[in-house]
Amino acid sequence: MSDSTAARLARPTDAEAIARIYNQGIEERIATFETKPRSAEQIVAMLAERGDIYPTVVAERDRQVVAWAGASTYRSRPCYQGIAEYSVYVDRAARGIGAGRAVLEALFRACEERGFWKLVSRIFPENVASLALCRATGFRVVGVYQRHGKLDGEWRDTVIVEKLLGEAAQDDGGTVSD
């Protein structure tokens, strides 16, 4: 692989790569409560549903998509219109090379351009790499949902993280802490 990782908005033609990377996360059981693999067709539909309002970005290395991050609806009430949930997934073969950071930073810019002031997510405590990525990109831990859901019949906790964007972030110095 080259040393260059470039991030850009996702296109429908990226759906196969996004599905492949997402399915790795589903298989590993430390990134999502989802258990059913996604098809490229489902990813195309997801991208269309989110449209330009909720961006999805990919990172390419050597013209191959190696990571993706996407924003989605947080809550439907108008007072929350500037908050989005986010997800980030990195191909197994590309972990540790900065692809996750590249897609998250591109997602921050894309969300700010669309008027979002906050990104939130829930991360399994066992997902040390994702928590480290959050720490490195300025997220802070808000708390822990205990027994938030079951995965393969087992209760799982989730760490709640948030990152303020744009004007909302101007006075914020908090980041993910241990």
pTM: 0.91
Those residues whose C-beta lies under 8 Å from the C-beta of residue 161, and which sit 6 or more positions away, are 120, 121, 122, 123, 131, 134, 139, 140, 141, 142, 176
Q: Residue 5's pLDDT is what?
A: 86
Residue 77 pLDDT: 95
Sequential pLDDT tens for the chain (178 residues): 346 889 999 999 999 999 999 999 999 999 999 999 999 999 999 999 999 999 999 999 999 999 999 999 999 999 999 999 999 999 999 999 999 999 999 999 999 999 999 999 999 999 999 999 999 999 999 999 999 999 999 999 999 999 999 999 986 455 555 5
Please check whether residue 166 is in contact with residue 67, taking contact to mean a CB–CB distance below 8 angstroms. Answer: no
Per-residue pLDDT, 175: 57
Report which residue type is found at 46.
M
Q: Which is nearest to 8 in space by CA: 17, 163, 80?
A: 17
**Of 76, 78, 14, nearest in space to 46 by CA:** 14
Question: Looking at residue 127, what DSSP letter applies?
Answer: -
Q: How far is residue 71's CA from residue 59's CA, in Å, rounded to a whole number?
A: 15
Distances (CA, A) of 138 to 9, 168, 175: 21, 13, 5
Instruction: Return the number of other C-beta atoms located less than 10 Å from residue 128's C-beta.
Output: 11
Confidence at residue 4, expressed as pLDDT on a 0 to 100 scale: 80
Question: For the chain, how many residues are written?
Answer: 178
CB 106 within 8 A of CB 69: yes
pLDDT at residue 28 in the model: 96
What's the pLDDT at 146?
Answer: 98
Domains and CATH numbers, the chain: 6-169 (3.40.630.30)
